[in-house]
Chains A and B, each alone.
Chain A
Amino acid sequence: MSARRPLPHWADVALLPVLNLLLALLISGIVIALIGQNPFDALRILVYGAFGYGEGLGFTLHFATDFVFTGLAMAFAAHAGLFNIGAEGQAYVAGLGAILVGLTLDHTSWLLVLPLAIIASSALGAFWAFIPGYLQAKRGSHVVITTIMFNFIASALMIYLLNYVLKPAGVQEPSSANVVAAGKIPQLRQFFPFFGYAPLNMTSIFAVLALIFSYVVIWHTKLGFAMRVMGLNPTASRYAGTSNSRLIMIVMAISGGFAGMLAVNEVLGVQSRIVMDFTSGYGFVGIAVALMGRNHPVGIALAAILFGALYQGGLELQFEMPAVTRDMIVVIQALVIMFTGAMEGLLRPGLENAFILFRPERKAEAVKRETVGTEG
């Protein structure tokens, strides 16, 4: 029996993240006030920019799509006790799969391109995550280290490929050839003008499917059971007859596969080609998304939308309030990541005490304790 009383489930999954978010916004507000701007105006612009009109919403959801993929990559591996922080590199390399399918099938239909591109980019992302998985399973090199290293390797590899292999003759920047027809995944604005110029595209459907898929795999399949057992107690996993080394490789590959799907969204959905660093750090945001979403698909969806809104609203804020520079936006984003991710336990003890006092039966107990104390 522990002296600390755990929070009710709803408070743990809903109230605490909301309070953490409010705290982050409060500190951000103070920072904005310090540079002489009105924090309430800033908040209004940010929220309006993210959700207030079609184009803003479209951008928010587009960013959220990326964050769902990388957030799932992180969370899926985390359930098996693996810390895959290589989503960035896995998505980057996966761009090769997306563009390969896009260019090859540019003359067919996007209905063919989209699923094949998802498969190809997942396969490459999976491959890029499988190698660290293999190294951990068979050689004992920790995935945290190797996935970081594989981000650098991916970056160097892609720069090389973009400059010397993929770049069409005569082009001045390191990028691949463009897809021009079927290789471009249709953006939703082509069907709904409501979204203005937002790049939200059909890949988002796969984000929703990926969320459902991960939920089913983690909690309703034998594979999911085995990986949760390994994540919680690797010795018990071996006792259960699971080959942990094999499972590590499988989980890392699936995790990398989720990250890889980001490439379709960015490469075929927006840029129509691979540009340098198209992943723009989204792989790392996925870590915060998974943390805030408690590694649960529903939480990840909500957290991804929140971070999408911060990205989009932040751009808007930068535009509307020139004093709030790009760096300030990064500060705000960092504060949210810090409070919802790294310091998510900050308010927990206080909240636990509050719950003990404010739930009637607890209160009665506390009062009794007090009175007994004074009567001596």
Chain B
Amino acid sequence: MSTQPPTTNDQQRPARAAASPWAIELKGINKRFGPVWANRDIDLAVARGTIHGIVGENGAGKSTLMSILYGFYTADSGEIFVNGQLAHISDPRRALALGIGMVHQHFMLVDNFSILENVILGVENSPLLASSLGKARRELKRLADEYSLDVDPDAIVEDVSVGQQQRVEILKALYRGADTLILDEPTGVLTPEEADDLFRVLRTLREQGKTVILITHKLREIMAITDTVSVMRQGQMVTTMPTAETSPEKLAEAMVGRRVLLRVEKGPAHPGAPLLEVDDLVVADDLKVTRVKGVSFTVRAGEIVGIAGVAGNGQSELLEAVSGMRAPRGGTVKVSGRAVSFHGDDGARRLREAKLAHVPEDRQRMGLVVQLEAWENSILGYQDDPAYGRGAILDIDAARREAAERMQKFDVRPANPRLKTASFSGGNQQKIVLAREMERDPDVLVVGQPTRGVDIGAIEFIHNQIVKMRDAGKAILLVSVELDEIRSLADRILVMFDGNIMGEADPAVATEGELGLMMAGIDPQQAAARAAHPEEELRP
């Protein structure tokens, strides 16, 4: 421990700062929340001008560590050095003054302000808005040119895409003089194209000498973009190594603490009778824009049909219509040969009665009431079942007993049905939903994004459960934006683009490239035909 007095370095001294090769150094960071060590004796050194990835399961302490660095929390003990200088970061403003900026997973933007207004929010340097705006516009232009972060400063935030909004967050940090950027799960909300754009931007930032700390649980991103990677597990730093010297398998093992199968092991499917028949389905969204434009397909007993596609091509609306959450404009849905009525606003109940179970895409918005206790969510949608009391009174004891059994069976941790659902990690929340829907022994299981925001260890479990359902003769419709997931789970792949099914693919045969073309709306057969006639222009 140094003997330096804990006076804060209120003035930055850039001349001396350049002396250290480390942009950020954390030494012996400890942070406890009650009995839980969120961070235990963490050492971390981030070299200037690099992209440093931090991976770990949910609850491994990544976010806590970054919150300490950004001044949201103070560490119980330990030291932070910024550019070689001991720093006491008491709040985010200090962090910014030291050149540390953060881009949060959930954007902190004023939706109905323009991009320019959002950028200067809080750092207007004159009481007259016009002069700050003028200055900011020039500065923004400079930043946008330097880092190829093109945005229209006068566009209203709510009108631009999620990817653009993220750029605004990055610009905000740069505008405030950030040299080190922390990005917390930046690709969680992005489409694959937007994620590629983001990576381009990050590379430019690195070229310009900025330092980037990337928190993620997607190993592919780590491999694709980082220079160095650190793995955290249960509050401790497990390892730090150059990305080039590791592999996704090694990282997964370090994160979970045991060997993890990244691929699903499953035998061939034995499809039986059609259980879910969708015919010419047309669905509009809340703004009355038609998002599903006449889709037809069948899911048979004992097979998993995967719907692939870039997010926003109608998969969500399709899923909502098939599960009774959204009345379609046209077409029919048949479960076990019987057509479903979409009259009224309780379609979900009728589909449950038809033995169709639904694991929704967004568990926190739809599949769970996070403020309620786990056992209450374990009966959500089935509360009228006589198993939970005949008549009007709810048999709370029966519901709790059953929830406790299910939590044991699905390895939900902690297996306490009296705990508030919000206090479970994403993976455990998802297991609560899966247990509820699967233990009902449905004929048809409709699953949306089953592993979104779920730890690697839990992903393996969830995938195995889905395969087990298939082998038990259930018809499974799987919608996911993770192409890897679809390819490893599905027995047949349907690719959706712009509300239509572009085509069907056999996961054993189809390459990622073919699927990618279909996801981009290009018919692979046509593309092949065009490739055979090189005189035609291949690229649009």
Name A's B-contacting residues (CB within 8 A): 1, 3, 216, 220-226, 228-229, 232-233, 235-236, 238-246, 361, 365, 368-369, 372-376
Residues of chain A with a CB closer than 8 A to B368's CB: 233, 236
- On whether A243 and B394 interact (CB within 8 A), knowing A1-B64, A233-B369, the answer reads no
Task: Give bound CA distance, A235 to B431, whole Å.
Answer: 20
- CB distance B383 to A239 under 8 Å? no
Could you name 27 residue pairs across A and B whose Cβ atoms are closer than 8 Å?
A: A3-B72, A221-B393, A222-B384, A222-B392, A225-B383, A228-B369, A229-B372, A233-B365, A233-B369, A235-B366, A236-B365, A236-B366, A236-B367, A236-B369, A236-B380, A238-B345, A238-B346, A239-B358, A240-B380, A241-B346, A241-B347, A243-B344, A244-B345, A246-B346, A361-B34, A372-B76, A376-B5
The A interface is mostly helix, strand or loop, or mixed, namely: helix
Residue of B whose beta carbon sits closest to that of A229: B369
B76 x A368 contact (CB < 8 A): yes
Contact with A along B1-30 (1 / 0, CB 8 A): 111111000000000000000000000000
Q: Which residues of A contact B325 (CB under 8 A)?
A: 238-239
Query: Most B CB atoms within 10 A — which of A225, A244, A369?
Result: A225
Is the beta-carbon distance between A365 and B381 smaller than 8 angstroms?
Answer: no
A64 to chain B, nearest CB (A): 29
Of the residues A221, A225, A245, A373, contact of B6 by C-beta under 8 Å: A373
Asked whether, in the complex, the Cβ of B76 is within 8 Å of the Cβ of A365, the reply is yes
Q: How far is the CA of A156 from the CA of B489 in the complex (A)?
A: 66
Contact of B76 among A240, A243, A369 (CB under 8 A): A369
* Chain A hits for B76, CB < 8 A: 365, 368-369, 372
Give the CA-CA distance A226 to B376 in the complex, in Å.
10
Task: Give min CB distance, A201 to chain B, whole Å.
Answer: 31
In Å, the complex CA distance between A361 and B64 comes to 21
- Complex interface: chain B residues within 8 A of A232 (CB): 369, 371-372
Instruction: List, in ascending order, chain B residues with CB within 8 A of A373's CB.
Output: 6
Bound-complex Cα distance A4 to B490 (A): 44
Query: With A and B bound together, what is the CA distance between A1 and B349 in angstroms?
Result: 35
Q: Scan residues 371-394 of chain B and give those whose CB is less than 8 A from a CB of chain A.
A: 371-372, 376, 379-381, 383-384, 388-389, 392-394
Complex: how many Å from CA A221 to CA B384?
10
Q: Evaluate contact between A220 and B380: CB separation under 8 angstroms.
A: no
- Select from chain A the residue with minimum beta-carbon distance to B31: A1
A348 to chain B, nearest CB (A): 18
Among A228, A236, A239, A361, max chain B CB count under 10 A is at A239
Contacts of B32 in A (CB 8 A): 365
Bound Cα distance from A238 to B1, whole angstroms: 58
For residue B360, CB closer than 8 A to chain A, the reply is: yes
- Considering the complex, give the chain B residue whose CB is closest to the CB of A245: B345
Q: Which residue of B324, B372, B376, B380 has the most chain A CB atoms within 10 A of its CB atom? A: B380
Residues of B within 8 A of A228 (CB): 369, 372
A361 to B33, CA, bound (A): 11
Q: How far does the alpha carbon of A235 sit from the alpha carbon of B320 in the complex, in Å?
A: 12
Min distance, Cβ A6 to any Cβ of chain B, angstroms: 11
Closest residue on chain A to residue B78 by CB atoms: A372
Closest 7 CB pairs of A and B: A241-B349, A240-B381, A243-B346, A241-B348, A372-B77, A233-B369, A239-B366
Q: Complex formed: what's the CA distance from A222 to B73 in Å? A: 42
A268 → chain B, closest Cβ, in Å? 30
Residue from the set B32, B323, B345, B379 with the largest chain A CB neighbour count within 10 Å:
B345
Q: For B5, what are the chain A residues with a Cβ–Cβ distance below 8 Å?
A: 376
